[in-house]
Structure 1
Amino acid sequence: MAKVDWPTLGSFTLRGSFPNDADRLVTESLPSMFRRMPALEHLDITAALFHYTTTRCCVLSSNLALLNVGLNSLQSLTIAYPDPNDNIFSIPLPRLTRLELRDWPRHYDIVAHEYYSRAWRSPILSATEALSVLRRQVQAPQLTVLELVYFADEADDDLIAFIAHALSKLQHLQLHRYRRSSEEAVDH
């Protein structure tokens, strides 16, 4: 796929699972694929992570990937278990209206069901990591839809305040906020 031009492809979805940390073929191929997809408007990478993996989903892993990556038309970005250091959050996405930083399978399913917890892990973002990503993604001034899955930490209030003040065009906000422990009181 990375060696073929896709001049009119508007939507690209990768679903399933990343088999292991050593299998970087997919993420290493993505930057060259994006350059061949100039009309790409919707990117969805919703892949589960096996319990024995240690990495998160990283779409643009190197600084070299930032050079002419070809995502200028991107309007919608969905990533399950995003790496907060992913360079995709450092490039301007001026047409981005929808951002989903989520989990798949859902974190609550992995926690609640032994079948899921034996097979999958759910390294969701912390509030600190989510805030870092969103601060870098302010380069998406048209954002109207945000889905965010995260663990509360000391940056929880700052994250909510940032969303309220910096993302003024939001029309739809979906938060999945998890406590650090089941004993923790919820004040939101």
Structure 2
Amino acid sequence: MRIPPFAFKLLYRMRRLYWRIAKPTTYGVKALIMHPVDADRVLLVQHSYGDQSLWSLPGGGYKPARETPEQAARRECIEELSIELDSFAIVLEEHLTTSGGKQGHLKIVRVHATSDEIRPNGEISEARWAAVDLTDLPGNPTVSKWVYSALEAHARRAAGTRDAS
């Protein structure tokens, strides 16, 4: 069953209200998906909820007791984009304390697609392969800070360094 986009908007608002009241600890994963043929292209998405103009990375929440960040990245990418992935490597770990005081732990995982075919579900309003320098995004795009962090971490790993400092 396909969930309509308005349901994602409603769930998004309910989740943010819960965060303000309960201030939970959350665990999230974002996937930097590399194109299967062109190493200079990554998959970016716009969600059907929240800031719908924001280009970001696919991903979602997970429970560390049930799955690893790599497993969560695979699950989220299949759910949101019907895309199959190959290898995994954690490229960045961030600790954040935003969204109404919740304590969040985010892992950004670099993954490689086995095909460039994507079929977004109702959670994703648009998905596209973009150049790693982001120059081919339409108009004057708004890009998530996590996209920049992931691309910087990917570049550091490719250069053989771990830290930007």
TM-score between both structures, scaled by the size of structure 2: 0.31
Larger relative contact order (C-alpha < 8 A, sep ≥ 6)?
2
Larger Rg: 1
TM-score between both structures, scaled by the size of structure 1: 0.29
Which structure features the higher share of strand residues? 2
